[in-house]
Amino acid sequence: MRRFLALTSAAALSLFCAACGSDDTDEGQFKNARANVTGTHPVLMTLSVSGVSETPEPSATNLILTEDADNDRLNVDLLFFDCDLTATMTGETTFTVNPGSCVFPLPEEVEMDCDIAFEITGGTGGKASKGAKVGATLNGNYKMTCPELGVPVSMPMTILLVGT
């Protein structure tokens, strides 16, 4: 009976230790992999806003990924936007986008006192293989603030960036 209890206890302890073991994916593990995705990548951007049935035609822009010298993250930017996004490498050619925002500055000739921003809650990106195109999916909220309209408009949205 003691032997049975000892074996059962050892098995339970082994399962417990396996479940609580250290995570194999150390955040800094892929720091040196950033060079696999850094650069200026031409993409087609499609914005899908929840509650809006029409999806606009994809627009050409650039996804710009640069290494952050101060830490092990990537800086994420979109051409024509002012972004404060970062990403963390999750594999040799993949990354997770951290929360942040991208503001779309309206041209001066547009006579509208509005601010348009994408409040990003997260996303993923990368490429399928070393020779493939880089792309990403960003999730969050589309926010438009126009003082003359009163309350800001905020709707869930997804931005799909497909490498071209």
pLDDT tens over the chain, length 164 residues: 333 333 333 333 333 333 344 444 454 566 677 888 999 999 999 999 988 888 889 999 999 999 987 777 899 999 999 999 999 999 999 999 999 999 988 777 766 788 899 999 999 999 998 789 999 999 999 999 988 888 888 999 999 999 99
- Asked whether 163 and 133 are in contact (CB, 8 A), the reply is yes
Residue 92 falls inside a structural domain = yes
Q: Where is 4: in which H helix or E strand? A: helix 2-20
CATH number at residue 115: 2.60.40
Beta-strand (E) ranges in 17-152?
Answer: 39-49, 59-67, 73-78, 82-83, 85-89, 94-97, 100-104, 115-126, 135-145
Domain of residue 94, residue span: 29-163
Residue 12 falls inside a structural domain = no
Tell me how many domains the chain contains. Answer: 1
